[in-house]
Structure 1
Amino acid sequence: MSYVNPPEFVTKMIDAGEAKVFMSTRDTVIRAYMAGAILALAAAFAVTITVQTGNALVGAILFPVGFCMLYLLGFDLLTGVFTLAPLALIDKRPGVTVRSVLRNWGLVFVGNFAGALTVALMMAITFTFAFTVDPNEIGVRLGEIGSDRTVGYADHGAAGMLTLFIRGVLCNWMVSTGVVAAMMSTSVPGKVIGMWMPILVFFYMGFEHSVVNMFLFPSGLMLGGDFSVADYLVWNEIPTMVGNLVGGLAFVGLTLYSTHARTGATLARPVAEKAKAVEKVRA
């Protein structure tokens, strides 16, 4: 059987969190860099499909190919370590501390951002013939996305900030579900199917993913988007990261941990009482 029962895959989640916390700096950054780059390529792919077909659902259906590739290659996204690394701390694994978890998050952030920024520059070059002509229609759309999802939130003030935060929460609820779903199977097809469904939901619904945004907004700035670096950080990246942390940890990591790794007391009658009940029924 390729299906892994919940108590087993939750143990795998804790083990994975512990392994990431103790991973060397070099390996952590390399794996995060590649994850950011691959996810950025997938985002560029999805935007290209959406522009060319005029159908956002087609782009959303195909976007998860990037997530599946990076997961199967063993690379790390910030959204994933937000959910997994704290579980090793909560489970009191030896040597795991708040500082070591924060170190992991910081290194993964740096690697993801560097990878996404590299692809943003590469795609901007391809969309403008090395900045010698105006952006093509895909480049124009990337600039519009950057403006809509920064200044667009700012126009609504506190309500916009709350909306941004909630979209970050919902995003990593789905993305972390995809990370966990891959642990539910021991076969590659099973892992891919498990990951594909929640990632499709997040992308089509327009939820905010901190690593995808590390590509979208630098791309938008390079391609003439009408917003600033400060707009990007204050009205997207920082609130999105906070939302991603809350969504992944609260709705995926802690819920699964609390009910499958630290289950409540089993409510069962003693064997003797069961036997007496059976005898009464027979009488």
Structure 2
Amino acid sequence: MSDFGKFVDAFTPAEVAEKVKTIGVDKANMHFLSLIILALMAGAFIAFGAMYYTVAITDSTMAYGMTKLVGGVAFSLGFIMVVIAGAELFTGNTLVVMAWAKGKVSLPALLKTWTIVYIANALGAFVMVYLVYLSGYLDAHHHQVGATALKAGLAKVDNTLTESFVLGLFCNVLVCLASWMVYASRTVSDKVLAILFPISAFVAMGFEHCIANMYMIPVAILASLDPAIVAASGVDASQLQDLSLNGFMMNIIPVTLGNIIGGGVFVAMTYYLVFVYSPNSSK
């Protein structure tokens, strides 16, 4: 193949596996301050995507499926910024499992990286919740934006533990496959297209993403405290009892576990066994 052909052609799955393994080592060895800052940014970027999603579906007159599709495309903004601008997102970092399986990253290093990124993602999302509250964003369109945010969060805390786990598993399979295809891409436009379909799909189908929920459920809790937003939503006040710290935790814990299994096992370990593991060696 000519040099030009190598430039424009996507990386093969086997080449992507090698990149994921190498990048996993880099992530596990990243300087603490850099990791914290990039993870804070990722939490904020995902919150921006959720804000865009909320506005995009508010007062929609389109059919259910089209409304969800448009919302999913809007939500993809957050992941596009994570990949193109650069940030560290917990769900994507489950792919570091591949480097761990190969013996390039120790289990303590893997868990330390996950813990730092997870906490910083959460802090970034929580800061965005507070700033959204101060901005008056929820009052837009006669409180309808706040009503949409309230109903979106309420739908999440109404899931059972099993539903939350499986929806989290499905979600991170798509998120990590999006990351995998990004690693196969060579241009910015390639990367955007690789992100757009799987991310909009998980949003449209109602799958659960732990970092997105760290923005969407707390902002719904704040919205539920505003009588004008509750009135605009048409939701009876008695239905809002699960919009609480307990409801938040009962969603986040199973969704996080589902995200880890979806990305770390269903994607990272599957491709490890196909492209990296050698039965003639110990790894």
TM range (shorter): 0.7 to 0.9
Give the equivalent residue in structure 2 for 1:12: 19
Distance 1:36 1:128 in 2: 18
Residues 170 and 247, structure 1, Cα contact 8 Å, conserved in 2: yes
Alignment partner, residue 65 of structure 1: 77
1:138 aligns to what? 145
Counterpart code for 1:250: V
The alpha-carbon distance between structure 1 residues 263 and 192, as it changes in their structure 2 partners (threshold 3 A), is: farther
Distance 1:127 1:220 in 2: 14
- Per-residue deviation, residues 61-94 of structure 1 (Å, max 9, x unmatched): 2221221111112211110112x2221111111x
Contact 2:126 2:215 in 1 (8 A): yes
Contact 2:71 2:200 in 1 (8 A): no
User: What residue is the counterpart of 2:230 in the other structure?
Assistant: none
The reply on whether 1:85 has 2:100 as its aligned counterpart is: no
Unmatched segments (≥5 aa) in structure 2 = 1-7, 62-66, 226-239
Decide whether the 8 Å contact of 2:69 with 2:201 is kept in 1: no
Q: Deviations over 1:84-141 (max 9, x none)?
A: 2221111111xx2111111101110111011111111122223368x9x9x8111122
Partners of 2:68 and 2:114 in 1: how far apart? 32
Q: Measure the CA separation in 1 of the matches of 2:276 and 2:137.
A: 52
Partner in structure 2 of residue 271 of structure 1:
none
2:246 is the counterpart of 1:230: yes
The answer as to whether partners of 1:127 and 1:136 remain within 8 angstroms in 2 is no
Q: Percent identity?
A: 27
Report the aligned-residue RMSD: 2.0
User: After superposition, where does 1:23-42 map in structure 2 within 5 Å?
Assistant: 23-42=30-49
Q: Secondary structure at the match of 2:72?
A: helix
* One of 130, 134, 143 as aligned partner of 1:121: 130
Which TM-score applies when normalising by structure 2? 0.84
- Structure 2: which amino acid aligns with 1:86? V
Distance 1:192 1:263 in 2: 33
Which whole-Å deviations, capped at 9, do the CAs of 1:188-209 have from their partners, x for residues lacking one? 1111111111111101001000
Q: How far apart are the structure 1 equivalents of 2:216 and 2:150? A: 8
Deviations 1:122-170 (A, max 9, x none): 22223368x9x9x8111122122222221x22xxxxxx22111100000
Structure 2 counterpart of 1:244: 259
Tell me whether 1:104 sits opposite 2:110 in the alignment. Answer: no
What is the CA distance between 1:262 and its match in structure 2? 2.1
Deviation at 1:28, TM superposition (A): 0.8
**1:76 paired to 2:92:** no
8 A contact 1:36–1:211 mirrored in 2: yes
Structure 1 unmatched ranges of 5 or more: 154-159, 266-283
Aligned length: 252
Q: Distance in 1 between matches of 2:129 and 2:262?
A: 26
Partners of 2:137 and 2:214 lie apart in 1 by 20
Q: Is the 8 A contact 1:2 1:187 kept in 2?
A: no
Matches within 5 A, 1:266-277: none
**99 and 64 in structure 1: CA distance in 2 versus 1, 3 angstrom threshold:** same
Q: Distance in 2 between matches of 1:169 and 1:79?
A: 11
